[in-house]
Amino acid sequence: MENPAVTIFRNYLKIKSVQPEPDYSETTAFLSDLAKDIGLECKVVEALPGKPFVVMTWRGTDPGQKSLMLHSHVDVVPVFPEQWKVDPFSAEKTDNGDIIARGSQDMKCISIQYLEAIRRLKADGKQCLRDIHLTFSSDEEIGSKPMAAFVKHEAFKKLNVAYALDEGIANPGKEFRVFYGERSMWWVQVTCKGRPGHGSGFIENTAASKVRKVMNSFLQFRDDEENRLKSDPNLSHGDVTTVNMTILKGGIQFNVVPAELGLSFDIRMPPSVDVIKFENQIKAWCQEAGEDVTYDFVIKDTNTKTAPISKQDPWWNAFSSTLERLGVEYKTEIFPAGTDSRFTRECGIPALGFSPMNHTPILLHDHNEFLNEKVFLRGIDIYYEIIPALANVTA
């Protein structure tokens, strides 16, 4: 017989909350029913129209204390079904227990692990000092605009949050990865304008010639950072700046030299980077490419706050000591991508990124994403210990 928690997880994975048209009505109904089944308070907040936040609460014994927030998001990235072994929303389970589905790692597993750990705590008669709020956000995979609005909403302020947990990443090795900060995310749009003309000539000062110079500058920097990462074994992915050109657009037909071309770059910077200095570098690269080369930000995150990871910090001490007591090996890192945690940290609320998935290949956003049911269930065991440890911090 399948563990009931695994069945709930698989049912959640079957909901097609996939970008660009996620079904939030179904996820909201599913989570609301689950809250009722466990015995948690539940409400739905829309800081942005049509972008629901499901907020569940397990009340603590001292309402005067600030609360603990357990955060996750309900949307998942698109799929290419022809590249999958099975239907990516079938949540099919193999004979060895691998549950194959979009969202199995990123991050529907965490949502259910939180809830099932609390179900067990309540069933065992446990109570915690602080209120615990479980928040389920939307549109995290396309820039987190609802989360940016939610942290400014009166409903969030009333949660009175002191500390938060959010998603991490799997690790193929035995250690669990704990993220105490994350890289800033910049989405930069560069526009190059030049002389148009007939495709048969040697036209000077074209948009394409400027595009080439911009590309060379950005991608040379990318190569330098990649070489720095590979040459220093003490560095992790989150310690360097990544630059990737993700969109190239422009042109109307083969024999017309375009007057304008655009490039889009996804840039991720660790907290150690001087963001003012780096923007000046972008400005210089555009100026070096020629006249009429401009840049704009689609997203410009300049938050460099991190959560303390010293034993003198009562929250980190509670979290890390629990892992050590369980015999769990872990390593601390800067998160290489972007999560909703950047908004809680910006509010002055420390947050850790933690997904209890070891001995698991990193498959978020990849084809045939899966999580083994034993790893999933072990995660519930870990949260069963971590959640009360944090919710009972007295400092």
**Tokens encoding 177:** 């990865």
Beta strands at 184-193 and 98-100: parallel, antiparallel or unpaired: unpaired
Q: Which residues are catalytic?
A: 75, 140
Beta bridge partners of 43: 55
Is residue 68 a contact partner of residue 390, using CB atoms and an 8 Å limit? yes
For residue 248, what is the enclosing H or E element?
strand 242-250
**Tokens encoding 107:** 């991050």
Residue in 157, 141, 8 with CA at minimum distance from that of residue 72: 141
Residue in 375, 307, 347 with CA at minimum distance from that of residue 150: 347
Is residue 291 a contact partner of residue 277, using CB atoms and an 8 Å limit? no
Is residue 135 a contact partner of residue 393, using CB atoms and an 8 Å limit? no
- 3-class state of residue 232 by DSSP: coil
CA pair distance 273, 240, nearest whole angstrom: 9
**Tokens encoding 82:** 């022809």
Residue in 144, 180, 186, 182 with CA at minimum distance from that of residue 275: 186
Residue in 167, 112, 104 with CA at minimum distance from that of residue 339: 167
Residues in the chain: 395
Angle between helices 4-13 and 108-123 in degrees, nearest 10 = 150
Angle between helices 373-391 and 314-325 in degrees, nearest 10 = 140
| CA 94 to each of CA 18, 83, 85, 359: distance values in angstroms, whole numbers, following the listed order | 23, 17, 11, 17
- Cα 345-351-357 angle, rounded to 5 deg: 140
